[in-house]
Amino acid sequence: MTGQSNWDRARSYQAAIAERGAVITDADYLQPAETLLDLYGEDIRARAFTTQDPLRGEQMLRPDFTVPIVQQHMAFGAEPARYTYFGKVFRKQEIDEARPSEFVQVGFEVFDGSDVAAADAEVFATFAEILADVPVTPVTGDIGILRAAVMGLKTTERRRAALMRHLWRPRRFKALLDRFGGITPVPAARAALLAEADPMANLPSVLGLRSESEIALRIEALRDDAAADPISNMERDLLDALLSVRETAPNAMTLLGDIAVDLPSISTAVDGMSARLDALSARGIDVETLPFEAAYGRTSMEYYDGFVFGFSAAADLNIPPVATGGRYDALTTVLGAGKGVPAVGGVIRPDLVAIAEAAQ
């Protein structure tokens, strides 16, 4: 249940964001399920409430605002634009009954590509100011650096694409990396299949939509892959080193700078981080002590592809971060039918702020 005090908090946060030049907007409660399923995959069914409209088909109670706000902007907006909204979002709770299945979020989204570092800093600083008197600790990360590292691996395009696809699924990512690195041996049956002169010769009769030519194409791809050199130990070690960076921002910069010597593909992204730290500093954020974790957001924030951040209450409260956000340039391309715009934003949960304050 959302008490009056949480709605009051939500309104005051939104007023603070609107004061900074954001336009107040809103989104529909019911969202077409197809869009969300295409974006998040089948997993969203475990998190979002699904219902049926006789004419519009399967609908979901909005699990977040980002998707509809981005769609609105891509359809009707023009850059630069700043939006704020607040209202309920709905999430099924399959594991922890103590967590609410509906709660209020207040959001801030910035579509402004004129100065990416400044926009990142603007969003982070806005939430930092709102939370100035709340006992929370910030953490930052940058999925863009990880993406740049994968894009720069000296291996086949197909392998890079496979790794990129699973950036958000650490277990499968690791399994792929072990396979591409030659750590996981090729199963005997697979080796035998690829060794056949014509693997397609004795094909059992083809059933279903996946055609014979699709099977033949994949066998060709598997043969190419078997012939490719393994991803070197050095590159795999560099990725490990990168993912384990967990330091204050200035120390993280030093470590990432070292890694960039051997993995030059991340240089641009590391420069971007440096520019962002300058921009944060200019907004009064103490970057000397600001925590940075290279793997932050990797498991829980699937559409972010650059700067990510969160503000967490004390661990013993066992609550999710009170505010989270990040950059999601690629999402705007997906939802904007190919046309993308630089975008960054975040949300804050008044109910969790209240819990953090009460525990003070």
Partner 1 sequence: MTLKLGVPSKGRLMEKTFDWFAARGVTLRKSGSDREYAGAVDGIDGIELVLLSAGEVPRELDAGRIHLGVTGSDLVREKLSSWDQRVVEVAKMGFGGADLIIAVPQAWIDVDNLDDLDAVAAAFRANHGFRLRIATKYHRLVRDFLRENGVADYQLVDSQGATEGTIRNETAEAVADITSTGETLRANGLKILGDGLIHASQATLFRGRRSNWSKEQREILKTLDAKLAR
- Please state the closest distance from residue 201 (CB atom) to partner 1, in A: 10
Residue 64 assigned to a binding site: yes
Side-chain half-sphere CA neighbours of 198 within 13 A: 4
To the question of whether residue 83 is assigned a binding role by annotation, the answer is: no
Q: Who's near 290: CB < 8 A, 6+ residues apart?
A: 138, 140, 248, 249, 277, 280
Q: Is the dihedral of CA 149, 151, 152, 153 positive or negative?
A: positive
Q: Find all residues with CB under 8 Å of 283, minimum gap 6, and list them.
A: 121, 122, 124, 125
DSSP label of 148 = H
Compare residues 85 and 173 and give the one whose CB is closer to partner 1: 173
What is the rounded distance in angstroms from the CA atom of residue 28 to the CA atom of residue 26? 7
Q: Which is nearer to partner 1, 277 or 331 (CB)?
A: 331
Do the bridges between strand 246-248 and strand 291-293 make them parallel or antiparallel, or are there none, so unpaired?
Answer: antiparallel
E strand spans, the chain? 23-24, 30-32, 50-53, 57-61, 81-90, 102-111, 137-142, 246-248, 291-293, 307-312, 323-327, 344-348
Give me the least distance between CB of 311 and partner 1, in Å please: 27
Q: How far is the CB of 66 from partner 1 (least distance, A)?
A: 20
Nearest-approach distance from CB 38 to partner 1, in angstroms: 8
Q: Least CB distance from residue 222 to partner 1, whole Å?
A: 6
Core vs surface per residue 36-54: b (16+ CB within 10 A) or e = bbeebeeebeebbbeeeee
Nearest alpha-carbon partner for 62 in 22, 98, 91: 91
Among 35, 91, 123, 97, CA closest to 326: 123
86 labelled binding-site residue:
no
Q: Is the peptide bond before 80 cis (omega within 30 degrees of 0)?
A: yes
How many Å apart are CA 107 and CA 198, to the nearest integer? Answer: 57
CA dist 228 and 233 (Å) reads 15
Tell me whether residue 211 or residue 268 sits nearer to partner 1 (CB atom). Answer: 211
184 has binding-site annotation: no
The reply, when asked if residue 288 is annotated as ligand binding, is no
CB of 208 to partner 1, least distance (A): 4
Taking the complex as a whole, the smallest distance from the CB of residue 41 to partner 1 amounts, in Å, to 5
96 is in an annotated binding site: no
| Comparison of 34 and 240: residue with beta carbon closer to partner 1 | 34
Query: Residues interacting with partner 1, by CB under 8 A?
Result: 37-38, 41-43, 45-46, 94-95, 162, 165-166, 169, 171-173, 175-176, 179, 187, 189-190, 193, 199-200, 203-210, 212, 214-215, 217-219, 222
CB-nearer residue toward partner 1: 109 or 302: 302
Report the residue number, 12 or 184, with the smaller CB distance to partner 1: 184
- Report the residue number, 16 or 330, with the smaller CB distance to partner 1: 330
40 in a labelled binding site:
no
From the annotation, which residues make up the binding site? 64-66, 91, 105, 109, 298, 303-304
From the annotation, which residues make up the binding site for L-histidine? 64-66, 91, 105, 109, 298, 303-304
